């Protein structure tokens, strides 16, 4: 793998918290990797767990799901449902021996620009250490 | 909670019980497996006329259609119906009721301690042949019958949960003239008053079938360790599901997959040819129709925590993929993180419909 | 087919037709005549094949253009690729004649777009029943290999639908590979359409071979097959005669609808027979049961199968996938082929022909279908109509 390998991390970010957090990171001039490909969603619970799977199977090196902290959901309980669904996806990945570390759920509030940058950096480093998603090369999917 | 002992074969006993219910007007109809001919054709008879009850084979070791799906078609009913079904079918229906696909009101459920069923293909080739010869003696001696389905061999829920009536088969000696009927609910006791036989106050004691339970649990461990090649990973998933022909029969017969229109058959997953051309330029090759692995793993994510391991998905698979074993193996894990047992309790909510404020911190960066 | 004698190119390979077709794919991509290839490739577990769209030379090298088994109807692969319209790149698709014919039907139904797709067909020896293949891939590979090497259509270890197939050879593709009765290791490469001829020119295959002998071989096989088809299907017709015949034919149906979901013609996303519309009120179902003393579940078996016949038998290409996918071994394809051989001639229609003819139900004439007129007339007569 060449040294300039930049992974692709599909990131579903809740409009009210995590996406705004990412914005704050930007306006605060905090650096975070270009690997992060943000997709704005109205709520983290809008993300059908199959979206995560699809992003993974279509070759994303990592999938990040960002939502509001428990109790802060704009729709009151969306993120609690997200957490349960994510637990299912993660368990299915683990049971099949898929690389479950490539998917991650983080609570990032609108005011947590630095946290967003930290999560983005950390996760990107983890993914770079893991290397490319082997699924990318599979043709029998 | 009481027990009725009849001096007859259990299948005769159950027919007698059903006749009693219809004759006395205690139920208006009966739903039960029915033999159509000597070649092994069965269906589920929905019967209102007592003379039709003779063809019923209540414990036919075959699953011709999932009774849970049929119950969704005949409930809510204004008439009382008695249903003879396997423990996994009952659990499947409980899961369906939680999804508002029917109701247990006005339904009397009659189940048995289940010795498992034959694979559908073997069953349609001739259930009346030599295959059933040892089946009933194996029930008595608590053996796992050699010819039953892989999933049944590894099933630890062979004692009905929540049935109104349980007929004890596993571990019962002398199945030729001994029919043990346990009445588990008040309505069962009321409806079966006057059936005759010897009545005593006794609940079903799992010790009767503890020997089989031990063997099933061991078999389950063996199956789960062997069904999935190596350490897993995407290559293992492709190895198992690579020969899938995309008929989606597994999801159509699944008692849990109740959606009229499945997400994976919807336009959500249609792509322009330009999309494929782009993917081709990146990968050099791709499979068509696409998304075979997405379908199976996706379906696991959508329903595995409610999987009752009924095995019909494996039965209908034209490619002989061990769908049920793989799904149950994963389902055991997804259900266990919620301490959930599918079909255990009607009051127990589906895991994705509820939440606790503090839970699953290991899955999130907080 | 025109009356003038066709001329064709000739290809040879020590591996027979499989080798020639494989070479052809590689040459077509190498010379840039097409951008990619759609053909079967063995799956990693080596227990089936999958349709793969490919331009990577290593993958093309591993392709098996003539696979012993048909896991997914090729027309379905084409559908998923071109349902939403044509593409920019040129794709070469190698398929069995029934897959191409199904593709043509789907084109008429606006589910497949053939622009920029070059269809290659070949003399089809038949396919191994899928469930047999899955049980013993090794044996099936071997028996199919022998079948191919014989240069004749197969008779044993093939799907029942293949044994009575009369459209096993040239169809409305672009290029056809004919090898039945041709000397060993040799195959004729026959341009069927202008697009096909252009492609052969582009890759520099000279067309100097005469194929009259091959043509007469094909027509003699076809005559034999036609006879066998008529016999087999009329016997099937006898078996399903009357309501009791139909009920009996489908008594083992468990209602999984696999036959419908693997059918290339049944393209509806939401089948009527699976829809909410076909569901009945529970109390209504109870009433029916009460009137008759009993009713059977899965219900509406005859309704589903006879209904599906009315919906799609006009386009049925007898590919046999329905039988392959049936978990209880019902000879679905035989019954549907029997019906197709009645419904299609009624409209003087042959499914799978790309001759500009629309689907029979997409047109009408003011005076047509004399048989129907007679039936109506006789019914009116019985009622004593004044007209």
Tokens of B94: 């409980």
A139 touches chain C (CB under 8 A): yes
Tell me how far apart the alpha carbons of residues C280 and C352 are, in angstroms, rounded to a whole number: 37
Model confidence at B281: pLDDT above 60: yes
Report the residue count for chain A. Answer: 141
CA distance to partner chain C, nearest, from residue A83 (Å):
32
Show residues of chain A in contact with C40, CB under 8 Å.
Answer: none
Residues C296 and C259 in one domain: yes
Cis peptide upstream of residue B289 (ω within 30 degrees of 0):
yes
Model confidence at A2: pLDDT above 70: no
Rounded to two decimals, the ipTM of the complex is: 0.95
CB C260 within 8 A of CB C308: yes
User: Taking CA atoms, what residue in A is nearest to C59?
Assistant: A139
Residues 6+ apart with CB under 8 A from B54: B15
- Give the pLDDT of chain C (387 residues) as one tens digit per residue: 444 557 899 999 999 999 999 999 999 999 999 999 999 999 999 999 999 999 999 999 999 999 999 999 999 999 999 999 998 999 999 999 999 999 999 999 999 999 999 999 999 999 999 999 999 999 999 999 999 999 999 888 999 999 999 999 999 999 999 999 998 889 999 999 999 999 999 999 989 899 999 999 999 999 999 999 999 999 999 999 999 999 999 988 999 999 999 999 999 999 999 888 888 999 999 999 999 999 999 889 999 999 999 999 999 999 999 999 999 999 999 999 999 999 999 999 999 999 999 999 999 888 888 877 787 888 777 665 454
Residues C287 and C140 in one domain: no
Show residues of chain C in contact with B255, CB under 8 Å.
Answer: none
Show residues of chain C in contact with A140, CB under 8 Å.
Answer: 43-44, 50, 52
Tell me how far apart the alpha carbons of residues C341 and C357 are, in angstroms, rounded to a whole number: 18
The interaxial angle of helices B273-283 and C74-82, nearest 10 deg, is 100
Is residue C346 assigned to a domain?
yes
Tell me how far apart the alpha carbons of residues B274 and C116 are, in angstroms, rounded to a whole number: 13
A137 touches chain C (CB under 8 A): no
What residue has token string 């008695």?
A: B82
Residues C220 and C262 in one domain: no
Show residues of chain B in contact with A80, CB under 8 Å.
Answer: 355-357
CB C263 within 8 A of CB C313: no
Boundary-marking domain end, from C231, C251, C284? C231
Question: What is the pLDDT at residue C383?
Answer: 62
CA distance to partner chain C, nearest, from residue A49 (Å):
23
Tell me how far apart the alpha carbons of residues B309 and B228 are, in angstroms, rounded to a whole number: 16
Is residue C1 assigned to a domain?
no
Residues C43 and C75 in one domain: yes
Across the B:C interface, residue pairs with CB atoms under 8 Å apart total 215
Residues C181 and C323 in one domain: no
Q: Where are the domains of chain B?
A: 2-222, 227-363
Neighbours of chain B (3+ CB pairs under 8 A): A, C
Q: Could A89 and B234 be called an inter-chain contact, meaning their C-beta atoms sit closer than 8 Å?
A: no
Residues C142 and C289 in one domain: no
Q: Pick from B286, B353, B365 the residue to mutate for testing the A interface (most A CBs within 10 Å).
A: B365
User: Taking CA atoms, what residue in B is nearest to A86?
Assistant: B363
Model confidence at A133: pLDDT above 80: yes
Q: Using one digit for the tens of pLDDT, what is the confidence trace for B176-232? A: 889 999 999 999 999 999 998 999 999 999 999 999 999 999 999 999 999 988 889
C267 touches chain B (CB under 8 A): no
Torsion of the alpha carbons at C107, C112, C116 and C119, rounded to the nearest 10: -70
Residues C214 and C252 in one domain: no
Q: Pick from A136, A139, A141 the residue to mutate for testing the C interface (most C CBs within 10 Å).
A: A139
Residues C52 and C170 in one domain: yes
Q: Could A137 and B294 be called an inter-chain contact, meaning their C-beta atoms sit closer than 8 Å?
A: no
Boundary-marking domain end, from C181, C209, C231? C231
User: Taking CA atoms, what residue in C is nearest to A139?
Assistant: C52
Q: Using one digit for the tens of pLDDT, what is the confidence trace for B327-343? A: 999 999 999 999 999 99
Show residues of chain A in contact with C54, CB under 8 Å.
Answer: 139
Question: What is the pLDDT at residue B50?
Answer: 93
pLDDT greater at residue C87 or residue A37: A37
Tell me how far apart the alpha carbons of residues B67 and B249 are, in angstroms, rounded to a whole number: 17
* Helices vs. strands in chain B: H and E counts, helices first: 14, 10
Residues C227 and C266 in one domain: no
Scan residues 11-40 of C and list those with Cβ closer than 8 Å to B. Answer: 36, 38
Residues C250 and C220 in one domain: no
Residues C151 and C26 in one domain: yes
**Closest Cβ opposite residue A53 in set B297, B334, B355:** B297
Boundary-marking domain end, from C231, C266, C298? C231
Residues C74 and C167 in one domain: yes
**Closest Cβ opposite residue B29 in set C52, C274, C286:** C286
Q: Give the class (CATH, top level) of A9-134.
A: alpha beta
CB atoms within 10 A of CB A76: 9
A85 touches chain B (CB under 8 A): yes
Show residues of chain B in contact with C322, CB under 8 Å.
Answer: none
Tell me how far apart the alpha carbons of residues C60 and C337 are, in angstroms, rounded to a whole number: 35
User: Taking CA atoms, what residue in B is nearest to A134?
Assistant: B234
CA dist list (Å): B55 to A3, B60, B136, C101, C156: 74, 11, 19, 46, 39
What residue has token string 């079966």?
A: B192
**Closest Cβ opposite residue B287 in set A95, A137, A141:** A141
Is residue C326 assigned to a domain?
yes
Is residue C2 assigned to a domain?
no
CB C38 within 8 A of CB B276: no
Is residue C30 assigned to a domain?
yes
Q: Where are the domains of chain A?
A: 9-134
Is residue C349 assigned to a domain?
yes
Is residue C119 assigned to a domain?
yes
**Average pLDDT rounded to a whole number, residues B276-299:** 96
What residue has token string 């849970």?
A: B68
Q: Which residues pair with A7 in a beta bridge?
A: none
Tell me how far apart the alpha carbons of residues C328 and C326 are, in angstroms, rounded to a whole number: 6
Residues 6+ apart with CB under 8 A from C69: C48, C49, C127, C128, C130, C133, C140, C144
Tell me how far apart the alpha carbons of residues C248 and C356 are, in angstroms, rounded to a whole number: 40
DSSP state of C128: B
Q: Using one digit for the tens of pLDDT, what is the confidence trace for B242-255? A: 999 999 999 999 99
Show residues of chain A in contact with B352, CB under 8 Å.
Answer: 81, 84-85, 88
Q: Which domain holds residue C72?
A: 7-231
Is residue C243 assigned to a domain?
yes
């Amino acid at each position: 793998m060449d040294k300039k390998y930049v992974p692709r991390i599909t990131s579903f970010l809740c409009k009210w918290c995590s996406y705004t957090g990412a914005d704050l990171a930007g306006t605060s001039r905090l650096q975070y990797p270009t690997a992060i490909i943000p997709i704005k969603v109205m709520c983290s619970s809008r993300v059908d767990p199959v979206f995560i799977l699809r992003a993974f199977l279509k070759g994303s090196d990592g999938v990040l799901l960002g939502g509001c902290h428990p109790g802060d959901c704009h729709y009151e309980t969306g993120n609690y449902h997200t957490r349960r669904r994510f637990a299912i996806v993660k368990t299915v990945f683990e049971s099949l021996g898929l690389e479950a570390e490539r998917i991650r759920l983080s609570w990032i509030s609108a005011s947590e620009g630095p946290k967003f940058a930290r999560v983005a950096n950390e996760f990107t480093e983890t993914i770079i250490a893991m290397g490319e998603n082997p699924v990318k090369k599979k043709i029998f999917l | 909670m009481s027990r009725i002992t009849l001096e007859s074969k259990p299948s005769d006993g159950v027919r007698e019980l059903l006749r009693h219910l219809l004759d006395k007007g205690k139920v208006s109809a009966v739903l039960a497996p029915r033999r159509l001919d000597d070649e092994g054709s069965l269906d589920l008879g929905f019967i209102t006329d007592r003379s039709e009850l003779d063809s019923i084979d209540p414990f036919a070791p075959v699953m011709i259609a999932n009774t849970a799906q049929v119950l969704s078609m005949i409930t809510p009913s204004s008439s009382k119906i008695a249903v003879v079904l396997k423990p996994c079918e009952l659990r499947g229906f409980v899961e369906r009721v939680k999804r508002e696909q029917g109701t247990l009101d006005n339904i009397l459920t009659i189940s048995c301690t289940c010795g498992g069923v034959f694979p559908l293909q073997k069953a349609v080739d001739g259930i009346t042949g030599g295959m059933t010869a040892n089946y009933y003696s194996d029930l008595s001696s608590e053996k796992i019958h050699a010819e039953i389905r892989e999933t049944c061999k590894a099933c630890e829920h062979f004692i009905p949960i929540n049935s109104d009536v349980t007929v004890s088969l596993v571990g019962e000696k002398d199945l030729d003239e001994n029919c043990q009927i346990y009445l588990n609910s008040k309505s069962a006791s009321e409806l079966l008053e006057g059936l005759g036989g010897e009545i005593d106050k006794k609940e079903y004691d799992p010790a009767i079938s503890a020997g089989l339970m031990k063997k099933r649990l061991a078999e389950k461990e063996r199956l789960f360790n062997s069904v999935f090649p190596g350490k897993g990973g995407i290559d293992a998933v492709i190895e198992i599901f690579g020969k899938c022909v995309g008929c989606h029969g597994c999801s159509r017969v699944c008692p849990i997959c109740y959606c009229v229109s499945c997400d994976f058959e919807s336009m959500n997953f249609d792509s322009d040819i330009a999309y494929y051309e782009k993917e081709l330029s990146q990968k050099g090759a791709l499979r068509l129709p696409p998304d075979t692995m997405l379908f199976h793993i996706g379906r696991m994510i959508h329903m595995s925590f409610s999987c009752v391991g009924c095995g019909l998905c494996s039965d209908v698979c034209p490619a002989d993929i061990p769908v049920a074993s793989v799904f149950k193996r994963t389902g055991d894990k997804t259900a266990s993180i919620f301490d959930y047992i599918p079909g255990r309790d009607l009051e127990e909510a589906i895991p994705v419909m509820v939440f606790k404020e503090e839970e699953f911190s290991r899955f999130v960066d907080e | 087919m025109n009356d003038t004698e066709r001329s064709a190119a000739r290809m040879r390979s020590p591996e027979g037709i499989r080798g020639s077709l494989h070479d052809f794919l590689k040459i077509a991509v190498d010379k840039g005549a097409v951008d990619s290839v759609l053909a079967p490739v063995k799956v990693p577990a080596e227990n089936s094949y999958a349709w793969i769209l490919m331009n990577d030379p290593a993958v093309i090298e591993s392709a098996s253009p003539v696979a012993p088994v048909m896991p997914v109807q090729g027309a379905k692969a084409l559908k998923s690729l071109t349902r939403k319209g044509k593409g920019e790149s040129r794709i070469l698709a190698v398929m069995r004649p029934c897959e191409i014919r199904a593709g043509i039907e789907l084109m008429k139904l606006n589910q497949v777009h053939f622009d920029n797709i070059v269809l290659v067909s070949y003399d089809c020896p038949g396919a191994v029943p899928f469930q047999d293949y899955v049980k013993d891939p090794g044996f099936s590979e071997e028996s199919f290999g022998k079948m191919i090497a014989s240069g004749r259509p197969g008779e044993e270890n093939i799907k029942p639908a293949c044994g009575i197939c009369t459209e096993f050879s040239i169809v409305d593709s672009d290029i056809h590979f004919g090898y039945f009765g041709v000397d060993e290791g040799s195959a004729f490469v026959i341009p069927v359409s202008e697009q096909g001829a252009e492609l052969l020119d582009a890759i520099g295959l000279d067309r100097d071979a005469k194929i009259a002998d091959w043509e007469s071989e094909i027509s003699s096989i076809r005559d034999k097959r036609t006879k066998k088809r008529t016999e087999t299907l009329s016997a099937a017709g006898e078996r399903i005669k009357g309501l009791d015949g139909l009920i009996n034919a489908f008594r083992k149906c468990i209602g999984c609808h696999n036959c419908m979901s693997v059918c290339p013609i049944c393209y509806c996303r939401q089948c009527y027979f699976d829809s909410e519309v076909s569901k009945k009120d529970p109390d209504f179902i109870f009433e029916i049961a009460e009137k008759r003393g009993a009713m059977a579940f899965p219900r509406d078996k005859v309704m589903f199968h006879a209904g599906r016949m009315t919906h799609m038998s006009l386009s049925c290409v007898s590919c046999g996938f329905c039988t392959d996918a049936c978990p209880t071994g019902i000879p679905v394809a035989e019954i549907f082929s029997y019906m197709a051989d009645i419904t299609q001639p009624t409209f003087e229609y042959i499914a799978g022909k790309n001759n500009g003819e629309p689907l029979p139900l997409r047109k009408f004439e003011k005076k047509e279908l004399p048989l129907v007129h007679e039936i109506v007339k006789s019914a009116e007569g019985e009622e004593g109509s004044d007209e």
